[in-house]
Every structure is written in structure tokens, then in C-alpha cells.
Structure 1
Amino acid sequence: MNTSVDWVQLIIVIIIFTAVTAMGFMASRWRRTGELDNLDEWGLGGRGFGTFVTWFLLGGDLYTAYTFVAVPAAMYATGAISGFFAVPYTIVVYPIIFVFMSRLWSVAHRNGYVTPADFVGGRYGSRGLSLAVAVTGILATMPYIALQLVGMQAVFETMGLGGNNTLAKDLPLLIAFAVLAAYTYSSGLRAPAMIAFVKDGLIYLVIGVAIIYLPHVLGGWDTIFDAAKTKMATPNPTTGKPTGAFIPGEAGYSAYWTLALGSAMALFMYPHSVTAVLSTKNRNVVRRNAAILPAYSLLLGLLALLGYMAITAKVNVKGLDGIANPQLAIPRLFDQEFPSWFAGIAFAAIAVGALVPAAIMSIAAANLFTRNIYRDFLKKDATPAQEAKVSKLASLLVKFGALVFVLGMDKTISLNLQLLGGIWILQTFPAIVGGLFTRWFHRWALLAGWAVAMVYGTISAYRVINPATKKHFGGSLANFPFTDKQVYIALTAFVINLVVVIVLTVILRALKVPDGVDSTHPTDYLADAGDPGVKDLPELVDEDGAAPAKS
């Protein structure tokens, strides 16, 4: 464990970080179709990304510090139930994208929607329901951005930056936050889209070397799995129960599959996922990426196993403040087992891997505020330029809100930050996905179901106490009502949500309560680029970024 700054690692991280920052500012002119004074340009990259760019953008958007730090940290701390569920979850999610997101792309392009709340407002004729979706999206994004910052903080601490002094510990994070805020403000979605190429290249390089080299020096996979199995069977001195589960037993089945299914259903409800989808140039780009993105799931599985390698290597996860922090497991593993220069490259990969999704998330949340709060309730006649300006400012406030989560919540199992966001964002599923296929649900029923589920999910998550830190929001599992089965709180809340929606819809339709005006048309959901009414794409670039030849 470093108690002083490793200057080789720090210099390499600074060099790569500086190069990425320069790319972030340069991206303001990359594939430009006009001035960045409207949300189509600033917040959606001109809606013109093809399959190649989108593959990197979605990969950078979805495979985050959650992948590189939180999942292997959960594997290190408590085993497969809390960590490896992410692998089937990322497999299940892509058929969902294939079926749902192409329809959302079509209706959004036909009607000029920028956010999922735009669609909900238009589909149900309800600004109140649109506001609920927007607020939920912003709220759920905060802990997800916070998770990215926690990953960066773990890297900085491993390099020897920080210590017991709170300001010293958080200063590198604040500097990185300021840089992120600056180039996001300047370049919008084009910045993370361009940086995603570097991020993915670094990650593939690092994991490729690690998965070949580390098993060799640690005694092989038998040794790695035996060490993990032994640790998970060892009683936790705080609870007296086994530390975790190497392979989930029957009691853990419900927790495992509900975490996987609930997370898969929630992922593309997040505003940043929708933003990446709506930035594409046609609906087939969305479907092609749904088919090829599972390649990342292999990477995720290998990354998760780094948590077991950290157990075998007996890494010290005590922070510079003397408190054990599993989030340090993977950075400490690279610090301990690799030369400083390669560890520096790995740390830069993690830092850049946190910056890309954090940028997209802040842009998406800012778009929600601008379109569905500022324009709908504060300034209905806002011009496109005013919307873009407000969204840029809101993106800064969203990052500040994420810092509040980082500084104020339990970070020892940072995966909980993402799972907490999942509890909230999944409650928008009935309105968004239901609206893509049917208009039967009543707007007031959807709003009531959302409200009940949000209250239930938040209270249930608050009641989960981390046995080590004694802090609230210490986990995402609770007993399913009237049973002793542990399940993901988000899925329980979703079931309650759906029951309320269906029952109230029947009642409200029987009472003939007005259900709002649907501003969409059935043909909107199958429209593609070039169809009548679909936003014309600029004749500017082809797939490799070159201008097409003019006849």
C-alpha cells in the first residue's frame, strides 16, 4: 500500500488525463452540423452517430466505474450474489434494447423528443407524469454519477493522494470534477463520444494483460477460486455469518435472479442510455448495436473475476484513513502486482472509464431539467438557444449533486449507489415501455403507481443497514412481502407499481375520467430516417467521419 505518492503512476495518469481533456474540448467541432445552441446539437450530438461511433458511445455509457471498480469490489467483499449477477444482467438487457429502443427512436425523431419524459408527456398528454419521469431520471442519475467519482477516488487514493484530511482526500476528485464539467459544458455529447474510443482501447489493453498475467503469477485459476471459496465461507466477525457466497445457494437464488432481471429492466430507463440511443442516425443503428454490444459482457465477466484475484493476492484494502474499503481492491491489485508504469496505465483507464459515462449522465439529466421542468413549467416560450444554455448550466448542477452523494453516503460498497438508482428509475418503466406499445394505461393510474412505488422503494432501501458501517441505504435487498425470500427492492416496487396502475386504470376508465390527448400517431413508432416527418439528417459525414462526395 502506498503511503506516499507514486510519481510514475501519477505522471502517466496526468499525461493521459490531459490528452483526454484536450480531446474533450476539441470534440466541440467534431462531426458538427451546426452551432451548439440547441439540444439536438449539444445534447444529442446532432442525432447523426452511426453504428461504429454508437458502439463505442454506448459501451462508454453502459460500462462504467460500476464495471471496473464496483463489480469486482463486490466480488471481493461478498462474492457472486452481489457481484456476478451483473453478467447475466448485461446479457438479458440487449433483447430489451432491440425490441423497445428502436420504437422509442422512431417516435422521438418523428416528434422531436429529446428525453424520455418528452415522450411520456406527448403520449399521455400529462405534464405531471412527464415531470415525475424527469425528476426520477435526475434523482436516479445522481448516485450513478457518484459511483463514477468513487471509482476515481479509489484510484487517486491508491496512488497516494489524500489521507485523513478530508480536503486533501477530495481535492483530486474536485479537480477532475472541474475538468469534466468544463469540457462537457463546451462540447456536449460529442466530448464523451470521442473520448470513448480512448477509454475502450485502454480498458481492453489492461484487462487483456491482466487476465493472462495475473493467473500465472497467482498460481493459476484453481488457486484463485480456492482462495475465494475459503474467504466466502469464513464467518464475518460482525455478523457471525459467512462473509459471502462463492456460489449462491438455494437461499440466494431469488436475490441473484431479481438483481439480474431488475437491473436489466432498469438500465435503458436511465436518461443517459436513452440519450445515447437518440443520438443515432437511424433505428437500425440501435438494433445493430443491440446485436453486437454483448461482446462487452465477456469483458465484464473477466473484470468481475479480478475481485477473486485480489483475494488470492491478499491485497490490503485499508484506506489512507485506516478504514477498510473494498473499492480499493482492484486499484491495489494493480499497484501490488504490476510495475508502476503499467499500473499507471490501468489507473488512467479506470479514471477515463469514469469520466465518459459521468459526462453522458450529466448531459442527459440536464436535458431532462431543461425540457421537462424549465420549458414546461418556468418558461414555456424558451428558444432553442435558451434551452441549450440552461442545459449547460444544469449539467454543472447535476455534477455538484453527485458530489453530495459521494461525500454524504456510504461508499464502502459503491455498487449500492447504482442499485439505489435502479430502485427509482425502474418505476418509470410502465409509463415509458408501456406507452411504446399501448395507450390503455390511464395517466393518473401511472402517476399513482409511480408515487406508491417510489415511496415504498426509498423507505425499504433506507431501512437496509450496512452491518459494518451501521449506515442506512446499506444494500438493495429486502424480504419480498409475506415471505422470507430476499429480492431486489426495485423489482418488488415495480410489481407494486404495476398492480396499482392496472387496478386504477380499470377504475378510472369505468368512471370515464379524461385520460389526456395522445399527440403521437401509430405510424410514429415504426418511422425511420428519410420517412415523411422524420428529422432530416445533415449531409455531413459518413461512418468514418469524412464528408461524402457531392454529385
Structure 2
Amino acid sequence: MTYPVATIVFVALIAFVIVLGFVAGRWKAGNMDSIEEWGLGGRRFGTLISWFLIGGDTYTAYTFIAIPALMFGAGAIGFFAVPYTVVCYPILFLVFPKLWKVARNHGYITGPEFVRGRYGNRWLALAIGVTGIIATMPYIALQLIGMQTIIGALGIPGHIPLIAAFAVLAAFTYTSGLRAPAMISIVKDSLIYLTVIVAVIVIPTELGGFSAIFAHVAPAKLILPTPPAGSTGAYTSYATLALGSAMALFLYPHTTTGILSASGPRVIKRNAALLPAYTFVLGLLALLGFMAVAAGLAKMPQFAAGFAQYHASFAIPALMLYAFPGWFAGVAFAAIAIGALVPAAIMSIASANIFTRDIYKQFASATSPSTETLIAKLFSIVMVVGAVLFILAIPNTYAVQLQLLGGMWIIQTFPAIAFSVFTRFFNGWALLIGWAVGIVSATYLAALNHLMGAIWAFHILGYTVPSYIAFATVILNAVIAAVLSVPFNAIASDRARDATKAADYAA
């Protein structure tokens, strides 16, 4: 089934942001042959732009598809995204203003580069960098899945529109760098806010109010199940999933890049206070999953093919088409699709920064600043092309499974990055061993789950304690790093290799 009005509005808005992406290179103009200008926007973004940019690369197209879909299919457990995006902002406030200051003082543009400066250990930095790139690839692929769902809902056949959209993405990322997603994020977030606010007013009115909506949802899906005797049940699953996700969020290369592009620590602190506005919108967005249940969309013939192909992920597109006139559905679909372009662009730039500074530059011959930037630009294209091939070559289920693993892997960088802005207690080699144990144990437990779930039931002193695998394994990682640091520092301390100074970390 096709929707011509929605499609026209959708295409017009996408064309507008593509033009904006190419024009963005002239905004806050700088020397685009410098990787700091291309990959960090010259560290000149103020409070408002940083708010849009960090929000734009944190709340992605897949977020806006997957969270309501989880509520639609699984119920209350899907609401974990709301507390997790509350807990993450104290972490942002405490850790990243210090990291920004060190990075600015020493010219660092990535998290792994900071780790190498802190410990003088390029192998630890390499491990952190490779983890970031590998965790990012399926994340970009998930943005493609989100956009693919939207394009499919409009009745546009084939992969050609998706390929074309991301080819243009690669082009304006190459020319405009981080300025492109920064400028486009203003449009994307404005459209998202408009869509969600209108949706939570109009759709409940059409469905008889929120009481009627909740009445249509199975009682078992409205609350977490009561744990059985001898087990903490869904309570610890929910809590550790929220906390572990919060610890991982700003360690992803794209979110770190968004933060380091700010003009100063005060901008980051202000955003830690202002960004919870996105959490409020996310809570409203999650409720759209219950609205889709109440509307009975899965039983409507016009949406049968969409649910058969995309399953619960089709709930939001179907709800938009059901509740709104074609032109506004086109606006909503464009908001979600642009929500794929913005984070995908930042992810490719962030990965390119890591590849250039933490892999190529460290293990190849010295390069000039312009050559360094060229390498970063080319690698950003490689990331986008790789993600497209990923989607075309393998089932979408694998991308979801690899993203599940990506979250478990990226959190293993928490001790090396987050702890290191507060203390030099750790030894670099001990952190590397802790990282390796965390990666292996997380992957092993996920494999035992057949990559179908992120929760593992641990048996402790006669109690069953289900936990997010990533959270449990990063605790193991940190404990091993702490224990080994004592003898390692006694035998062969690496503190003399610290290129940073105590003054870098002062408030």
C-alpha cells in the first residue's frame, strides 16, 4: 500500500536536510584540512548546539522505533530506557567536563587517545579504540534498519532509496565533517519534539484517553512480574540493565565525539542538566507502544504485511499512518529517518577519528595534518559503506544481535576511561587484562544465551540474581584491574609515562 502525500512530504524534508548537510561546511568556518575542525567542529559548539547534537546522536532512529516496539511486544520492561537516560546524566556531569579539559589541553580528539596519554600504553589505547569501532558498526546498521522500516511503511520498494540516502550521507560527511550532523540535528530534534507532542495529545483523544489505552494492555505487561521465592527476578534485571546501559552510553565513540566538540566544560555541565528533556520525550514516546496495542493495529488488514515483515518494529509507522493525515505522517517519518542520518554521520566521523589517531597514526609512518584528515574522511566513507553492505548481506536479526554484543563490549572501556579522570591508581597493563577478561566473559555468557538476550541468572549464596551481562562483567573487569594494579605498580610502575598533569584535572 502506498501513501503519496506522506511520501512527498517525507522526500521533501529529506532533500532539505541533505542540502543542509552540504551547506554546513561553511558554518562556523574553519580549516577543514584539520582533523580537529573536521572531526570535532573545532570544539566550538555552545550550549544550544551541543544540546541538539548530543541529543541527536544519543536518541537515534532505532531508539524511536525500538523502544515503543519493545513496549508494544514485551510491555513494562521496555520502560528501562527512561531510568537509564536519567542515570547517565550524572555520569556525564562528573566525568566528561574533566575529560574535555584534558583532551583540549593535549589535543586529544578521542577517548582512546586520552587513555594512551594517561598510561603511555598504545596497546591499551588500541584495545579501547578497536572496541569502539567494532561496537559502532552494528549501531550504524541499526540506523539503516530504522530507516528501512520507515521507507517500507511508505510502500517504497527495494533497497535503492536506502542506498541513495546513505551515499549522500557519506558525501556530506566527507565534505562538512561534524558540522553537518550538528546543523541537521536542529531540524531532526525539532521534528521529533513536534511529532511526539502532537501524538500524545491527538492519539489518546482518538482512543478515549489514557485510561482506555491502559485498559487494552494485558495486566502482566503493565508492571514487572513479582520475583519468585529465592530470586530477585525482573527487579535486578531491570535495575542492572538501566545502570549498565547508562554507564555505556557516553563511552560510544559518537557520543564522546559530540561531547568533546563542546566549547568548554561549562557547556557539558549545562547539558547534563538540560538533556533530561529528551528523557521526558522518550517516556512519552515509549507510551506510543501501548497506544499501538490499544488501537489494535496488528489486526488491521492494511498493516498485516508490515507487521509480517518488520514485526513489532512496525508499530510506530503503523500508528502514525493510522492516527494522522498523510502530510503529518510524512513529517513524523522524516523525523525518524533524519534521526538515522544524524547519528550515522557522527558514528562514521567518530570511528574515523579513532582509526586515524589511535590505529593508523600509531602503527604507520608519520603523516601531515592534511593527510591525517584525508585518511579520516576516507575511513568515514568505509564505515557507511560497510554498514550498508552489512544490511544487504545478512539478516537484520544479526545486526540486532551484534548491537547487543556491542553494548556489552563498549562498557568494558569504562574503567580505563571513566575511572582514569579521577585517579592514576590503575596500571595500564592491569586495565588491559581487565578489559580482555570483561570482553571474553561477556561474549561467552551472551553466546550461552544464543545471542537472544542480555540477562544472565547468577546464583549467589542460594539466591538467583538475574543481571545485565554487561554490568556484571564490567564489575569483574574493574575488580581484576584493581587487584592486578597493586603488584604491577610495585614491580614496574607506568606512572612516569603519564603525559597529563594534575592541573589538567582541576575543577
TM-score, normalisation: structure 1? 0.86
1:75 aligns to what?
71
1:152 aligns to what?
147
**CA distance in structure 1 between the partners assigned to 2:65 and 2:402 by the alignment:** 12
Show CA shifts across 1:227-267 (max 9, x none).
Answer: 2225xx4xxxxxxxxxx564343321011001110011111
Kindly indicate whether residue 482 of structure 2 is the aligned counterpart of residue 485 of structure 1. Answer: no
1:215 aligns to what?
204
Partner SS state of residue 49, structure 1 = coil
Q: Is the 8 A contact 2:306 2:314 kept in 1?
A: no
User: Which sits farther off after the overlay, 277-286 or 399-408?
Assistant: 399-408
Following superposition, the deviation at residue 405 of structure 1 comes to 4.4
Following superposition, the deviation at residue 513 of structure 1 comes to 5.5
| RMSD of Structure 2 on Structure 1 (CA) | 2.0
Kindly indicate whether residue 13 of structure 2 is the aligned counterpart of residue 16 of structure 1. Answer: yes
Kindly indicate whether residue 82 of structure 2 is the aligned counterpart of residue 96 of structure 1. Answer: no
Following superposition, the deviation at residue 213 of structure 1 comes to 0.5
Kindly indicate whether residue 504 of structure 2 is the aligned counterpart of residue 524 of structure 1. Answer: yes
1:84-233 correspondence to structure 2 within 5 Å: 84-162=79-157, 168=158, 170-229=159-218, 233=220
Q: Is the 8 A contact 1:69 1:327 kept in 2?
A: yes
Out of 304, 325, 337, the position equivalent to 1:351 is: 337
Following superposition, the deviation at residue 433 of structure 1 comes to 1.0
TM-score, normalisation: structure 2? 0.93
Following superposition, the deviation at residue 507 of structure 1 comes to 2.7
**CA distance in structure 2 between the partners assigned to 1:371 and 1:324 by the alignment:** 39
Kindly indicate whether residue 46 of structure 2 is the aligned counterpart of residue 31 of structure 1. Answer: no
Q: Is the 8 A contact 2:428 2:494 kept in 1?
A: no
**CA distance in structure 1 between the partners assigned to 2:191 and 2:354 by the alignment:** 31
Q: Is the 8 A contact 1:424 1:457 kept in 2?
A: yes
Q: Is the 8 A contact 1:427 1:450 kept in 2?
A: yes
1:55 aligns to what?
51
* Number of equivalenced pairs: 496
Partner SS state of residue 511, structure 1 = helix
Distance verdict in 2 for CA 1:226–1:336, change over 3 Å = same
Kindly indicate whether residue 298 of structure 2 is the aligned counterpart of residue 309 of structure 1. Answer: no
Q: Is the 8 A contact 1:80 1:248 kept in 2?
A: no
Q: Is the 8 A contact 1:318 1:324 kept in 2?
A: no
Aligned-pair identity (%): 51
Distance verdict in 2 for CA 1:481–1:130, change over 3 Å = farther
**CA distance in structure 1 between the partners assigned to 2:248 and 2:390 by the alignment:** 20
Letter in 2 for 1:186: T
**CA distance in structure 1 between the partners assigned to 2:108 and 2:440 by the alignment:** 29
Distance verdict in 2 for CA 1:289–1:212, change over 3 Å = same
Distance verdict in 2 for CA 1:490–1:516, change over 3 Å = farther
Q: Would you tell me which structure has more helix in proportion to its own residues? A: 2
Q: Structure 2: any 5+ residue segments left out of the alignment?
A: 228-232
Q: Is the 8 A contact 1:134 1:368 kept in 2?
A: yes
Partner SS state of residue 487, structure 1 = strand
User: Which sits farther off after the overlay, 144-153 or 93-102?
Assistant: 144-153
Q: Is the 8 A contact 2:224 2:234 kept in 1?
A: no
**CA distance in structure 2 between the partners assigned to 1:417 and 1:156 by the alignment:** 23
Q: Structure 1: any 5+ residue segments left out of the alignment?
A: 163-167, 234-243, 466-472, 528-551
Following superposition, the deviation at residue 391 of structure 1 comes to 0.6
Out of 290, 304, 315, the position equivalent to 1:329 is: 315
Following superposition, the deviation at residue 319 of structure 1 comes to 4.5
Distance verdict in 2 for CA 1:407–1:464, change over 3 Å = farther
Kindly indicate whether residue 412 of structure 2 is the aligned counterpart of residue 400 of structure 1. Answer: no
**CA distance in structure 1 between the partners assigned to 2:156 and 2:468 by the alignment:** 36
User: Which sits farther off after the overlay, 340-349 or 511-520?
Assistant: 511-520
**CA distance in structure 2 between the partners assigned to 1:156 and 1:43 by the alignment:** 30
Letter in 2 for 1:438: T
2:376 aligns to what?
391
Kindly indicate whether residue 240 of structure 2 is the aligned counterpart of residue 258 of structure 1. Answer: yes
Letter in 1 for 2:154: M
Show CA shifts across 1:167-219 (max 9, x none).
Answer: x2x32221211111111111000000001111111111111110001011112
**CA distance in structure 2 between the partners assigned to 1:315 and 1:248 by the alignment:** 26
Partner SS state of residue 146, structure 1 = helix
Kindly indicate whether residue 226 of structure 2 is the aligned counterpart of residue 249 of structure 1. Answer: yes
Following superposition, the deviation at residue 416 of structure 1 comes to 5.8
Letter in 2 for 1:388: T
1:500-539 correspondence to structure 2 within 5 Å: 500-512=480-492, 514=494, 517-526=497-506
1:362 aligns to what?
348
**CA distance in structure 2 between the partners assigned to 1:45 and 1:290 by the alignment:** 20
Q: Is the 8 A contact 1:125 1:519 kept in 2?
A: yes
**CA distance in structure 1 between the partners assigned to 2:401 and 2:79 by the alignment:** 14
Letter in 2 for 1:500: I
